[in-house]
Structure 1
Amino acid sequence: MAACEDARDGAAWDARSIERYARGGVAARAVVGAYDGRDGTLVGWACASSDGATVATIDRVCVRRDRRRRGVGTALVVLLGKVLFEREIYDVCAATPRALGETLFSDAGFEDDASVYMRYRGEMLDE
């Protein structure tokens, strides 16, 4: 899962960045947001990518620093899960550090299924 508060933090809150995530096809992308009820300010957003049929991966959960530890991230993950469930996508994963998986995602109702993610470390094909 990509961090939202890294060296490229500005990109996480750039309107064009959020639009880029939302532009994918309806079946392939799910994006949800959380807004301040007083002034409509975006305080958090989350997105998932999917094959449109059976599986999805939660790619980002971003919450403004000044709004963290208030349940915003958990609410976004719950909402994202509901959106995917409505699309009949039941296998949802997120590659997270274990500590984050044991808090944010477990609070949102997700369980660790002991999946092992693999990374290809080979060479590119010659063209």
Structure 2
Amino acid sequence: PATEDFFRLRLDQMIDLRHPLAVLASRMPWQEIEAAVAHRFARKARAGAALPELDLFGQTLVRTPRPSNAGRPRVPLRIMVSLLYLKHAFNESDEGVVERWAETPTWQYFSGQAYFEHRLPCDATTLVKFRQLLGEEGVE
């Protein structure tokens, strides 16, 4: 069958769709889960800082522009939530679940990926920070 990307095979064509994780992926209420935790990760507006500036008439306060939000793009919530689930379901460490995710097509399919990615989804420390932001009740 033809694929959307000529050079890559879709994950749903690589795995057995009867695998328990593949079945669970289709039955999980992903949108509800993401909506329940999304408010904790909304970007917060940051104001610029007032800095003194010297000019011909003495010292004045100048507002600096708002700091840039540029940087590393965020890991999608579905991937982060699925990593937490896989970590607990398979009794993996943070480092272990991230490394195993990069090698396991079924795990990537469970996480909502369309194509196999042979790269880490995030750094293991990102998973720690994600868990801290969710808090104890959020993880449950």
TM over 0.5: no
Q: Highest CA radius of gyration, 1 or 2?
A: 2
Q: Hey, which of these two has a bigger chunk of helix by percent? A: 2
After TM superposition, the score normalised by the length of structure 2 is 0.27
Q: Hey, which of these two has a bigger chunk of strand by percent? A: 1
Greater relative contact order (CA < 8 Å, ≥ 6 in sequence): 2
